[in-house]
Chains A and B, each alone.
Chain A
Amino acid sequence: MNPAALHTGLIETLSLTLVITSVAAVEMRRLKFSIVAYSCQALLIVALLLSFAAVNKALYWWAATALVTKAILTPWFLFRSIRGLDDRELKPVIGFVPSAVIAALLMMVFFRLTHGPGAFLAPTEMGQLDVFRTNLAVASTVFALGLYAVLTRRDAVKAVIGLCLLENGVHLSLVSLAPGLSETALFGVATEVVVTVFLLLYVVGGVRREFGSTDTFRLRELRW
């Protein structure tokens, strides 16, 4: 493996754009735009994987799977679930400005954590290289943003988008943490996310029919 073969500048640009698309996916009030932002992010991940594939041939496989599962199937399922409906998101718990501040703070914390002397997220030698550290910081930020979206958004569809971000974060970290992962494992991991999204949206469809909305705050019949 020769890390010098990587286009560091390109990777850094892609990584930063990735964070912007995550924030957009979380913050857009129209679900349609949110899904578009998510699709852009998926394409950026594919591009990132391809640029890392210069040093790790197994990533070509990973990029192909990501293209099919993240950039094609997942947005398709998401669009199908909101078709013909009012796609304005229910008012979230936390408004736009505090959200943006939180996103920026998360980003700074993770950069600090991965670039600091401790570097506890990257126990490998390779993980200490600059490109991989950036990758890990970005992956953790996307992961945290996804978690943030799931926790604070009322709309079930938005929660599903948050879940996708969460998964994308972990998958992105595989580039730095688990370069030797076999194709079957990668395939299993990628397939499962699509199936999860499909099943969740199927259940959300049922919730919408029975409860009349996808407001998760109204799902409180089962308590104690």
Chain B
Amino acid sequence: MSRDIVTQVSIVPAIVFLLPMLMGTVMLLIPGAGRQLQRWLSVLTTAVVLGLGAGMVSQVLKGSVLTTWHGELRVDALSALMVILIGGIGLFASLYSVPYLAARITEDVTVCRMRIFHGLLMWFLGTMLWGCVTNNVVMLYVAIEATTLTSGLLVAFYWNRPALEAGYKYLILLTIAITFALFGCVLLYAGAAATNKLAGGDALLISEIRNVVPWIPHRAMAITIAFLLIGFGTKAGIAPFHPWLPDAHAEAPTPVSVLLSGVMIKMALYALARTVSIFYPTWPQVTLFLLVLGTFTMLLGILLALAQDDLKRLLAYSSVSQMGYVLAGIGVGTYLGCYGGLFQLLNHALYKSLLFMCVGAVIYATRMRRMGDLGGLRKQMPVTSACFLVGALAIAGFPPLNGFWSKLSIYLALAQAGMWWAAVIAILTSIFTIVVMLRAGYRVFWGEPHFNGTSTAAVREVPILMWLPMVVLASLCALLGIWPQGVYPLLDRAARVLATLGQ
């Protein structure tokens, strides 16, 4: 934060989250009017959000911070990164959902709930964006709980036994967790207000709380951090609070899985980083705790992924593992660690969305998702198999793909901080990731075709609206691998927001 920062009043941060909410409301109020219209409206809305996000990024790169409503909303580099990520993945997911859900309508009883799908999707995106632009610590809680509520029905969308079970667990576990976060947020506010050092600033605004942290009593600080960690950590899928995640990710419709895994858990981690990183300078011990939690999460996630036969559950557990990397990176608290963590966050959003879309394509084409039932799809689905391979190599950290650079930054940051044990665990996890992902890819796309019942001849490549987002995401993974300096300016500024522990 050493550079000059110009605060600029702008209405864009408000528009970026109010627009999807408004469009969602419109879609929910005129249901059934035109399913086709709803689909294209949601694509259009996400495209506009992406455009606004790009505009914010260019503003932020010029060194300004956008604020609205007397600092209630505040967009710095970190928020801008999240907004453009949500806009981008949201656009791909809504494009993908057009053919994906159209196929489910004809065969399922989901027709009556189909009307509300896109409206809820827009609300879901809107609430996530709200959480990323708000500067008010209580509103941060409100926004994150709102993402749970708007996505709850999307998780249980198919309304069959597994979906209902996943939806119930999702709603109840996350609501309890987020109530802890509310307690944490309120304690943070109370602690900041009690210091009497705000000089007229509002104790609800995170940007103001940052300045008074050294005066908050240690004991209050410890309990605040614990509550925030339980609350936001659960939502981010940090072990041991992760059990909701594989159920919800696996049973939700694939476009929703893409959003849950691609951006929602990231957004919760963003909230965690935003609130907990302000304690680093006064209380550096917390970084060690975050690091232990991060390494535990990455190892546990990948070990559980090894045991999976269901492709979507496998990807969900791998998400847990990858979130461990992000937490370990951000948890180190140094500039390099935060840089690596945020780069990993961006990369994981790209390749995990890609992998979920590929698995969704396999489900779309074969109606199966167990590895044991699938095999030899390479011939029938060349695009999907190529995209899956790129995603699998990227998540495993093969050079020259994007995952390599972010993981390398995290290893270096861990080594630099003297945490050799953590670096070793991170590298070990990476090796397991290679095994898990390549084994899955091999069995589904290359192995012997052995279909139970259905003939292979009926399987063919998915429609263009499904493979186009996959190809774009795969290209982005490759592009960021070859040209990682492209995102450097934004990540650099975002990492400086979090890296409060010297450089």
What residues of chain A have their CB less than 8 Å away from a CB belonging to chain B? 118, 120-125, 127, 143, 147, 150, 156, 159-160, 163, 166-167, 170, 173-174, 177-178, 180-182, 184-185, 188-189, 192, 195-196, 199-200, 202-204, 206-207, 210-211, 216, 219, 221-222, 224
A147 to B313: give the CA distance in the assembly, Å. 28
Of A124, A125, A189, A196, the contact of B175 (CB 8 Å cutoff): A196
A177 touches B139 (CB 8 A): no
What residues of chain B have their CB less than 8 Å away from a CB belonging to chain A? 136, 138-139, 141-142, 145-146, 148-149, 152-153, 156, 159-162, 164-169, 171-172, 175-176, 179, 182-183, 186-187, 189-191, 193-194, 203-204, 216-217, 219-220, 222-223, 246-247, 250-251, 304, 307-308, 313
With A200-B168, A206-B164, A224-B308 already in contact, the answer to whether A185 and B142 are too (CB < 8 A) is: yes
B304 touches A224 (CB 8 A): yes
Residues of A within 8 A of B182 (CB): 170, 189
A163 touches B176 (CB 8 A): yes
B190 touches A204 (CB 8 A): no
Q: Which residue of B lies closest to A202 (CB)?
A: B153
Supply 15 further A-B pairs (C-beta < 8 A) apart from A185-B138, A224-B308: A118-B219, A123-B190, A123-B219, A163-B172, A177-B187, A177-B190, A181-B138, A184-B139, A185-B139, A200-B172, A203-B153, A206-B159, A210-B160, A221-B165, A222-B250
B183 touches A167 (CB 8 A): no
Residues of B within 8 A of A181 (CB): 138, 189, 204
**Most central of A123, A147, A167 by chain B CB within 10 Å:** A123
B194 touches A123 (CB 8 A): yes
Of A120, A121, A166, the contact of B179 (CB 8 Å cutoff): A166
With A123-B191, A177-B186 already in contact, the answer to whether A203 and B176 are too (CB < 8 A) is: no
A222 touches B142 (CB 8 A): no
A173 touches B171 (CB 8 A): no
Residues of A within 8 A of B149 (CB): 192, 195-196, 199
20 intermolecular pairs with C-beta atoms under 8 Å apart:
A120-B217, A121-B187, A123-B190, A124-B190, A170-B182, A170-B186, A173-B186, A177-B189, A184-B139, A185-B136, A188-B142, A203-B156, A203-B167, A203-B171, A206-B156, A207-B165, A216-B168, A219-B165, A222-B166, A222-B246
Residues of A within 8 A of B141 (CB): 189
Q: How far is the CB of A184 from chain B (nearest CB, A)?
A: 8
With A123-B217, A188-B139, A188-B142 already in contact, the answer to whether A203 and B168 are too (CB < 8 A) is: yes
A173 touches B183 (CB 8 A): yes
Residues of A within 8 A of B307 (CB): 224
> Once A and B bind, how many residue pairs between them come within 8 Å at the CB atom?
134
A167 to B153: give the CA distance in the assembly, Å. 21
Q: How far is the CB of B307 from chain A (nearest CB, A)?
A: 6
With A123-B194, A185-B136 already in contact, the answer to whether A219 and B308 are too (CB < 8 A) is: no
With A185-B204, A189-B141, A224-B307 already in contact, the answer to whether A196 and B161 are too (CB < 8 A) is: no
Of A125, A182, A195, A219, the contact of B168 (CB 8 Å cutoff): A219
Q: How far is the CB of A116 from chain B (nearest CB, A)?
A: 11
With A118-B219, A189-B182 already in contact, the answer to whether A150 and B165 are too (CB < 8 A) is: no
Residues of A within 8 A of B166 (CB): 222
Q: Which residue of B lies closest to A160 (CB)?
A: B172
Residues of B within 8 A of A196 (CB): 145, 148-149, 171, 175
Q: Which residue of B lies closest to A214 (CB)?
A: B168
Residues of B within 8 A of A124 (CB): 190-191, 193-194
Residues of A within 8 A of B169 (CB): 219, 222
Residues of B within 8 A of A203 (CB): 152-153, 156, 164, 167-168, 171
